[in-house]
Structure 1
Amino acid sequence: MSRLTVTPVSALTDEPVHIRATGLPPSVLVTLKASLTDEKGNLFHSRAFYRTNEAGDLDLKRDAALGGDYVGVEPMGLFWSLKPEKAFRRLLKRDVMNSPFRVTLDLYDSFVLQEPATEMPKASQTVQRWFTAPGVQRVPIRSGRVRGALFLPPGEGPFPGIIDLFGGIGGLVEFRASLLASHGFATLALAYFAYEDLPSHLKELDLDYFEEATDFLVSHPKVQGPGIGVIGVSKGAEVALAMTCFLKQVVATICINGPTWVSETPHKYRGQVSPSTPMFLESLRIDVSGAVSFRNFHKLHDTVSPLNLLPVEKAQGQILFLVSECDACLDSRKCAEQALERLQSHGKSNGRMLTYPGAGHLLEPPYGPLCYASWNPSIPLPMLWGGDPALHAAAQEQSWGDILKFFRQHIVETRSKL
């Protein structure tokens, strides 16, 4: 009898699983399919074709996919190659505490192309992909103006603290914060617009708000001082970099594919306003998919003056720029290089850059699928993020390890040496 086994069948979403099949005819072509329905009812699916060995077995750690949504030996390929049934849908976990993503794996002893399949699978298995480890607590935060959710690792603590920021999507995005807490960091998923009583649209970036959030986290009894880390992607990376420029409590900052200058919305801090960079609508490009690319929206070499660049030389902590080489939203490499050049011109060496070939703008924790393009509430067209699925998957696995290593080195180890 055919059997499909997945080990472990329930795990954190950033943990790999081992997929095997037994009891199949020898040396035959088989199909493996994965499917997932998100919290809004959107379907995501993937498939790959394999050939069993002489014993009628299949092991995704050993055997190469011959075709489908990926090729080669890719133990987690069925997960990272998931794609939406409807165009421009992004797989995004909202409820990180109470339910996992459930991925159904189906095994067919034939070449199955039709969707949905007309035949019954020979074996099936449902895999649970959690975003929170057992014992992690989620605490809703409404402190002064600060709005968000604080994730605390199990145990007494205190724990190294991190503020987690997303970009133009707005609202409160929690899945990375809950995973960071699952790895031992007290992490504040911080909203800054389009959430509860915060402004519905981002008209200016009020750094006093982020200073209030930093003070809140540093003073929390379960957070170890004296400093914290900040991580942000896209607009959130711009915020993170601004925070490390002006807030002494920030000792470790990770900027993922974000501007290193004041973009789109002016910054305000203690009554001082920094103007935003001009934007050029004629530089927008529409992809064949129908999504719009913002990569050349700002003509950096013409428009970014020293007044617009963030004063990175003021940063006292360590800064890590994570750069996707196939970012279709922003020339993130040029942005990071500008900041590093400015640091160097001031005799500073507290910044570095890591690059990821083939990766798109939305660089997220591992084994989730590439989001090539998706709807964004701030514009009427879907936004192009870019990336090659296989290379993006490798980049997400590598970058997640780089993120955890950086924060452990510059928050945890730095404090232990004080």
Structure 2
Amino acid sequence: MSQLTTKIQIHVKEKASLLEPLSVKIETGEPKTAFRMTLETKDDKGNVFISKAVFESDENGWIDVATCKPVSGDYESVDHLGMIWSMSVGKKNRMFVKHSAEAIIFDMNLYSCNGELLANKSFERTFLEKPIIKEALQDDVVGSLFYPEDQTDLPAIIIVGGSDGAVHESAAALLASEGYAVLALAYFGKEGLPKGIEHIPLEYVDHAFSLLESRMNVNQDKLAIIGHSRGAELALLYASNHTKVKAVIASGASSVIFSGMINFQPTKKSAWTYKQVPYEFYAVEREFKDTVSFFRHLLLRKPYSGIETMKASLQDNERLALYSIPVQNIQAPIMLFAGTDDHVQPAELFLNRMKADLHDHAYSEDNQFILHSGAGHFAAFPSSLPNLPQTVEESNALMTLTFGGTKKINADVAQQSWDETVTFLHTHL
């Protein structure tokens, strides 16, 4: 071990909540010296995410990551979370999948500029700030329920994810730490559930709420639902037919009812049913030029976005009105999140259409329409959480799909939308 190595100390809290500020200070013992730092972690799929930066120690031999601008690396400005939100899988931008509520472990390594490992440190960021109970539900309702230990009269929330089949346990755990009973609900893709988003009955969500209402620690008069993407469509449809919910949050939401979907491909069946009647839906039509564009991007290995195809297919205002989600029937305050750079669907267009439909809504003074400038599809809560690596693309051996935003913007929105979510729920539940 070199003399330099024995002097170095990495000061970081070894176990902390995901929501706590991240403080990393390195005592190098060498003033005005350049060092290379790497940060590594794994997501739920086992993909290794890494970021790199070169820092120069100050006149006292210290590096404070919160105030020190990198000399070079994966991010450029002074940002104490830059080493986290900029992480990627090698040179690829992969979707960072962290839906489980297990702690995320980071490994920090410090090197000399000639590549010698000088120091390393591991630390955890947890989703649970206080004693939280987790119950796995596997019978009539499939999902994971989180709630604070030894607390009663809890407001209760259901979270439903999008077409990736996400069961947002990590988001549910964070909210449970704020004093809620939260059910991360699966509605397809799990044992005992439909394979894809086809003929999902709204009664399934209602059954999940009945389960929550039966709990002795739940306040039956304080219920809410949160959905992302296709889950937002489900949340809005459910709330438009059931008056029991007192707050609705929809992120990256559509304003219209779309067809079913299996393996990310649209089907000719309805996605949702109510009282055994399938909802009619707006069928997105692909033209020959759209197929050509897709294969052109595939052959040239260029990032592909389907947003122009989606926008082109949504020009029929009569059909848009015919298949619109009747948000005006929701008897509760509504908060909508959308990013202006969403490449999955035109979320800004949908937000503005719902805003118009809710102009004379009974809760118009409480409704919030939050448009995050430059943000992508996976930017706002619950699909994105504060202080984690951010998703802008998904790359594999053949294709890169673009979801929108930048890592920095999406990271800022993750924090903003979390704060906005907590404030909205505390106000209305």
TM-score normalised by length of structure 2: 0.86
Q: Secondary structure at 1:305's aligned position in 2?
A: helix
Partner of residue 141, structure 1: 137
Q: Does 1:355 align with 2:371?
A: yes
Q: Does 1:372 align with 2:392?
A: yes
Partner of residue 414, structure 1: none
Q: Equivalents in 2 of 1:92, 1:335: separation in Å?
A: 26
Unaligned runs of 5+ in 2: 1-6, 261-269
Structure 2 counterparts to residues 43-82 of structure 1, below 5 A: 43-82=48-87
CA offset digits 1:80-122 (Å, max 9, x no partner): 111123746422235424xx22111112242x7xxxxxx3322
Letter in 1 for 2:194: P
**Post-superposition shift, 1:198?**
0.4
Partner of residue 212, structure 1: 207
Q: Does 1:295 align with 2:312?
A: no
Q: Equivalents in 2 of 1:177, 1:366: separation in Å?
A: 13
Partner of residue 393, structure 1: 411
Q: Equivalents in 2 of 1:289, 1:206: separation in Å?
A: 39
Partner of residue 238, structure 2: 243
Partner of residue 233, structure 1: 228
**Post-superposition shift, 1:161?**
0.7
Contact 1:42 1:86 in 2 (8 A): no
Q: Equivalents in 2 of 1:152, 1:347: separation in Å?
A: 31
1:123 to 98, 119, 123: 119
**Post-superposition shift, 1:219?**
2.7
Q: Secondary structure at 1:261's aligned position in 2?
A: coil
User: Which piece of structure 1 moves more, 347-356 or 216-225?
Assistant: 347-356
Tell me: CA distance 1:86–1:223, structure 2 relative to 1, closer, same or farther (3 Å): farther
Tell me: CA distance 1:225–1:289, structure 2 relative to 1, closer, same or farther (3 Å): farther
Q: Equivalents in 1 of 2:45, 2:326: separation in Å?
A: 41
Q: Equivalents in 2 of 1:295, 1:23: separation in Å?
A: 48
**Post-superposition shift, 1:291?**
4.8
Partner of residue 263, structure 1: 258
**Post-superposition shift, 1:321?**
0.6
CA offset digits 1:270-304 (Å, max 9, x no partner): 24432111112235765676554232425223264
Tell me: CA distance 1:325–1:375, structure 2 relative to 1, closer, same or farther (3 Å): same
Q: Equivalents in 2 of 1:190, 1:290: separation in Å?
A: 35
Q: Equivalents in 1 of 2:400, 2:132: separation in Å?
A: 35
**Post-superposition shift, 1:393?**
1.1
Identity %: 26
**Post-superposition shift, 1:325?**
1.9
Contact 1:244 1:250 in 2 (8 A): yes
Contact 2:70 2:76 in 1 (8 A): yes
Partner of residue 24, structure 2: 19
Q: Equivalents in 1 of 2:360, 2:385: separation in Å?
A: 34
Letter in 1 for 2:327: V
Partner of residue 276, structure 1: 281
**Post-superposition shift, 1:178?**
1.5
Q: Equivalents in 1 of 2:96, 2:420: separation in Å?
A: 23
Q: Secondary structure at 2:315's aligned position in 1?
A: helix
Partner of residue 264, structure 2: none
**Post-superposition shift, 1:38?**
3.3
Partner of residue 358, structure 2: 343
Partner of residue 147, structure 2: 152
TM-score normalised by length of structure 1: 0.88
Partner of residue 305, structure 1: 320
Q: Equivalents in 2 of 1:290, 1:153: separation in Å?
A: 47
2:8 to 2, 7, 12: 2
Letter in 2 for 1:103: F
Tell me: CA distance 1:162–1:394, structure 2 relative to 1, closer, same or farther (3 Å): same
**Post-superposition shift, 1:408?**
0.9
Partner of residue 28, structure 1: 33
Contact 2:148 2:176 in 1 (8 A): yes
Q: Does 1:323 align with 2:327?
A: no
Unaligned runs of 5+ in 1: 113-118, 412-418
- Paired residues, what number? 397
Q: Equivalents in 2 of 1:332, 1:93: separation in Å?
A: 23
Q: Equivalents in 2 of 1:375, 1:108: separation in Å?
A: 29
Letter in 1 for 2:371: T
Contact 1:243 1:250 in 2 (8 A): no
**Post-superposition shift, 1:385?**
1.1
Q: Equivalents in 1 of 2:345, 2:371: separation in Å?
A: 14
Tell me: CA distance 1:17–1:231, structure 2 relative to 1, closer, same or farther (3 Å): same
Q: Secondary structure at 2:412's aligned position in 1?
A: helix
Q: Equivalents in 1 of 2:202, 2:14: separation in Å?
A: 44
Tell me: CA distance 1:328–1:91, structure 2 relative to 1, closer, same or farther (3 Å): same
Letter in 2 for 1:2: I
**Post-superposition shift, 1:362?**
0.9
Q: Equivalents in 2 of 1:76, 1:82: separation in Å?
A: 10
Partner of residue 115, structure 1: none
Q: Secondary structure at 1:374's aligned position in 2?
A: strand
